[in-house]
Structure 1
Amino acid sequence: MAMVDADERVRPEDEVLSLPARSVLAAFKAGTLSPAEYMAALIARIEDREPRVCALYDFRPDDAMKAARASEARWVKGAPIGPLDGMPVSIKDNIAMKGDPVTTGTAAADMTPAAEDAPLTARLREDGAIFYAKTTCPDFGMLSSGLSSLHHLSRNPWDLTQNPGGSSAGAAAAGAAGYGPLHIGTDIGGSIRLPAGWTGLIGYKPSQGRVPVYPYYPGRCAGPLTPTVDDALLLMETISRPDWRDATSLPPQDLDWNVPPASVRSMKIGLMLDAGCGLPVDGEIRTAVLAAARRFEDAGAEIIPVDGILTRQMLDGLDDFWRARFWAQMETYTPERRAKILPFILDWAAGAKDLPATRAASGFDQMLAIRQATAQVFQGLDLIISPVNPVVSFPAEWAGPTNDPSLPFEHIAFTVPWNMGDNPACSINCGFSVSGMPIGLQIIGPRFADLRVLSVTKAFEGWTGGIPNWPKP
């Protein structure tokens, strides 16, 4: 594992690219750094590291530099088009960007260019962000891995033999590799938080509907993957603005996303160390999460042990329903097109070929049962903390921690309930394994308590100091 050596001479782009996003934007405004200078540093870093990390899809340096020069001219005139003018942002491959195909990580994709931006893409464009690349994801976004039939294999910058997690694999790999501070992922079972946990980033899954998405689906959210909480808050200011296309979106609210660190004194915080089913938690992760709980306790919170809420019936029912949903889609493909799908995903979905309709319907009912369990567990609690991932790491070439299509979701037992319950949930680093891999702490709130979750996460970041040295793959 390669780490930044404190004694190593810092190159100019290292200094520039280590700045949080608000500092970069302030430098643009002050004229001490131009968008073109920043973009040149970013491009140089990507060209140096990307052959090993493989986080990006459709990297477009020439277009990015052209946009950065246009932004520079606007800043010189004192007329930026929005609060993010000139700031590079990466977008996950399954989020629509007008004029580009939405491949969802699979070679079987319909390559028709998108007719319009997705809601958050539109908001970012309105605020002046520069889209320099899309980031990789596995086929249909259905793996906690960087494995894809279309993209190069994304790797974890902390150890290139290991997996960054997924399905926001490229976003997490890009964030940990230092490709600027602002990255966007999606999450329907943990696809932001899981890779954030394995790469040390802040990974935020907002309350359902807080960030409009299209197409929407139960549990599907979009949110930031960033080095710091403040970077995530900056993105939330933009991407949480309303869009009529998401019929699940929350009513527009004038929320102040520039929140200070919260006091946790007198808060009742549940500590969940067992998800209820799925993979057992590695000892190093359990130790790190217990140490995090003691930090909350030292700050005045009451820590209350709570049982896991996910049952075997719930997790298997979710598996049944999602298999049936994807097999229904794959059945419409020609045999030639279907053969292009990643074999792991095809084998997983094909398990629904002979699935009785009653069992698929029962699986949907289990999604509702999970939702009810999330509401019940929060009675009398302000927050819940838990591990993000049950395992420290797994090989880059694997489709997931089990690498078994018959057991695809054993590792999402701590994350998927909060998608079904619409809860805001955030991953933040709480330590490292003896092998040098990051360990994620999950901070979960009741529905709609987004500002509470992020302000408490910001407090925890202040207690630990965050990650001072990121990897140099």
Structure 2
Amino acid sequence: MPELHQLTATQLLDGYRARSFSPSDVAGALVEHIATWEPHINALYAYQPDAFIRAAKASTQRWAKGQPSGYLDGVPVTLKELIATQGMPVPGGTGLGEQAIATEDAPPATRLDEDNALLLAKTTCPDFGMLSSGLSSFHGLTRNPWDLACNTGGSSSGAGAAAAAGFGPLHVGTDIGGSIRLPAAWCGVVGFKPTLGRVPIDPYYVGRCAGPMTRSVKDAALMMTALARTDRRDAMRLPPEKIHWADLALDLHGLRVGVMMEAGCGLPLDEEIRNCVEQAAKQLEAAGATLVPLAPVLTREMLDGLDHFWQGRQWGELMKLAPKEREKVLPSILAWAEGGARLTGVDAVQGFQQTMAMRRATEAVFDKVDAVISPTTPNIAFPAEWSSPTNDPSQPFEHIIYTVPWNMGEQPAISLNAGFSQATTSFNMPIGVQLMGPRFADHFVLKLAKQLEDRLALPKRWPTLPTVI
């Protein structure tokens, strides 16, 4: 049997019911495990082991009485630093500006607390959540557990690292252009971006979603049982809907799956990733699906327009800081965002209009197919100290080409591990495959991901403890 820190959430709940072990047993094992790993990867923020152990003791007492409360009673969970929790600041990856203490939990934190999940810690993110990197001027550098020399991606960098390193089974990230799926791919875990509004979040914004980062599709579905409950604080939320998330059965016969291997612009696709995704698509075909080649949905004009819009938005945030504080922001963020000062209002509006173009292009795909399979990332790995796979502030988004269209289109998308690289420069680093479905078809996408996960049947192996820091 795996060690307690390696168990999935569903395995933990089964163990609690059978009284094979208790939440206190799990909490003790997890704290010990984190003590050996965290100095190497720096994934956690506001880690409070004493409070975590006290909460586990209370859960143990409920289970001992046969009175667990909620779907996740006693299951450890982390929240990305950008998700507010009562009594703590939200540093935004920088710790700059007004650091007001949150007066209430954000919706994802509220839902997990209602189900008595055990909050282990918050997880790190880069400055303003605007890098796909583990680099932060406030948190320091978060490293990839598979290889400390490699980047986690981001902006849910700590969540990806924590999931891969076994810091409990359940983690919540946020995603506005790939910030759940990119680190999930580079860290070899499952990352699910739901339909916009399926998981209420506050603050809400165009394309911004919260979602699960786990070690299995089944655990991601389990998390959705809690996270998808409605919350009026999100004015972009979907209407409440009864979904039996745990039901992941799906017959693939007759299903049309579009295969989108080319992104349309950005970084070229690594051949190992191409081969891995093609093999994954063949697994769906062997299960009864029909594969349909698809052209890219993204264009250079779309990506550059979004770049301009985000530049203007980020420069507006930086202008709120005093000049001396602004200088403390990561140089790569400053170098990129300063371009926003030179944009006109028309430039920013035209950039925003490209999000509508992405919406139109992605939605049209589902006139032809029921689902889409693609790479999650164009590259396998990049250095831990880099701010992005290009490490070039003038080209900050060349790697989000497979993920960002589905944020702007609002469709559900999931990344899962499809294998490991055999290249000498990135040996044994994970390779992600992405699945997308039409808007509102979140349950269907999880079902499809479960079928692919089962058919890939990858060996259950996870990073081993580094010997040096």
TM-score, scaled relative to structure 1: 0.96
Report the Cα distance in structure 2 between the residues aligned to 1:332 and 1:92, rounded to whole angstroms. Answer: 23
Q: Is 1:407 paired with 2:399?
A: no
1:351 corresponds in structure 2 to 339
Relative to 1, partners in 2 of residues 1:285 and 1:54: Cα closer, same or farther, differing over 3 Å?
Answer: same
Candidates 434, 444, 447, aligned match of 1:452: 444
Residues 9, 170 of structure 2: 8 Å contact kept: yes
2:153: which partner in 1?
165
Which secondary structure state, in structure 1, belongs to the residue aligned with residue 448 of structure 2?
helix
Kept in 2, the 8 Å contact 1:167–1:195? The answer is yes
CA contact (8 A) 2:280 2:456 kept: no
CA contact (8 A) 1:189 1:419 kept: yes
Alignment of 1:301-340 (within 5 A): 301-340=289-328
* Match of residue 121 from structure 1: 109
Code of the residue aligned with 1:236 in structure 2: it is M
Q: Deviations over 1:286-308 (max 9, x none)?
A: 11111111111111111111011
The aligned counterpart of 1:179 is 167
Residue 433 of structure 2 corresponds to 441
| CA shift for structure 1 position 336 | 1.9
Structure-to-structure mapping, 1:25-424, within 5 angstroms: 25-424=13-412
How far off its partner does 1:364 sit? 0.5
Q: What is the root-mean-square deviation of aligned Cα atoms in Å?
A: 1.1
Contact residue 107 and residue 340 of structure 1 kept, 8 A: no
CA distance in 2, matches of 1:446, 1:83: 28
The gaps in structure 2 that reach 5 residues or longer are none
TM (norm. structure 2) is 0.97
| CA-to-aligned-CA distance 1:357-380 (integer Å, 9 cap, x gap) | 111110000111111111112212
Q: Distance in 1 between matches of 2:103 and 2:75?
A: 24
For 2:245, the aligned partner's letter is W
Do the aligned residues in 1 keep the contact of 2:356 with 2:408 (CA within 8 Å)? yes
Equivalent residue number for residue 471 of structure 1? 463
Amino acid aligned to 2:243: L
User: 2 CA distance for matches of 1:143 and 1:467?
Assistant: 31
CA distance in 2, matches of 1:74, 1:300: 45
Task: State the one-letter code of the partner of 1:471.
Answer: P
Shift of 1:399: 0.4
Q: How many Å separate the matches in 2 of 1:426 and 1:371?
A: 18
Task: Name the residue aligned to 2:453.
Answer: 461
Measured in 2, the distance between the counterparts of 1:420 and 1:83 equals: 31
Name the stretch that deviates more: 200-209 or 347-356. Answer: 347-356
The whole-number CA distance in structure 1 between the counterparts of 2:249 and 2:140 is 39
Deviates more, 1:311-320 or 1:102-111: 102-111
235 and 467 in structure 1: CA distance in 2 versus 1, 3 angstrom threshold: farther
Contact map agreement 1:18 1:178 (CA 8 A) in 2: yes
Residue 58 (structure 1) shift: 1.2
- Which 10-residue stretch deviates more, 146-155 or 339-348? 339-348
Q: CA deviation at 1:354?
A: 1.3
Query: 1:1-24: per-residue Cα shift (whole Å, max 9, x none)?
Result: xxxxxxxxx8xxx52122221121
Query: Aligned to 2:195, what secondary structure does the other structure show?
Result: coil
Deviation at 1:97, TM superposition (A): 0.5
> 2 CA distance for matches of 1:23 and 1:282?
36
Per the TM alignment, residue 104 of structure 1 is displaced from its structure 2 partner at its CA by: 1.5
SS of equivalent residue, structure 2 residue 372: strand
SS in 2 for 1:114: coil
SS in 2 for 1:160: strand
Asked if 1 retains the 8 angstrom alpha-carbon contact of 2:132 and 2:153, the reply is: yes
The one-letter amino acid paired with 1:394 is F
Q: Distance in 2 between matches of 1:32 and 1:110?
A: 47
The 1-side partners of 2:54 and 2:174 are apart by: 28
What is the CA–CA distance in structure 1 between the aligned matches of 2:28 and 2:97, rounded to whole Å? 32
Identity among equivalent pairs (%): 52
Q: Which amino acid aligns with 2:443?
A: L
- Asked if 2 retains the 8 angstrom alpha-carbon contact of 1:228 and 1:466, the reply is no
> Which deviates further from its counterpart, 332-341 or 281-290?
332-341
The amino acid that maps onto 1:169 is: S
Q: Which segment is superposed worse, 458-467 or 141-150?
A: 458-467
CA contact (8 A) 1:203 1:428 kept: yes
Distance in 1 (CA, whole Å) between partners of 2:81 and 2:458 is 28
> How much has 1:109 moved relative to structure 2?
4.5
Contact 2:181 2:191 in 1 (8 A): yes
In the TM superposition, residue 92 of structure 1 has moved relative to its aligned partner by: 0.3
The answer to whether the 8 A contact 2:75-2:118 is kept is yes
Q: Secondary structure at the match of 1:194?
A: helix
1:10-66: CA deviations, max 9, x gaps? 8xxx52122221121122233221111100000001000110011111111111111
What is aligned with 1:4? Answer: none
By how many angstroms is 1:467 displaced?
A: 4.5
Query: What residue identity is the alignment partner of 2:318?
Result: M
> Could you tell me which amino acid in structure 1 is paired with residue 39 of structure 2?
P
Query: For 1:170-211, what per-residue CA distance to the aligned partner results, in whole angstroms no more than 9, with x for missing partners?
Result: 000000001111011000000000011111111000001100
Indicate the SS of the match to 2:150. coil
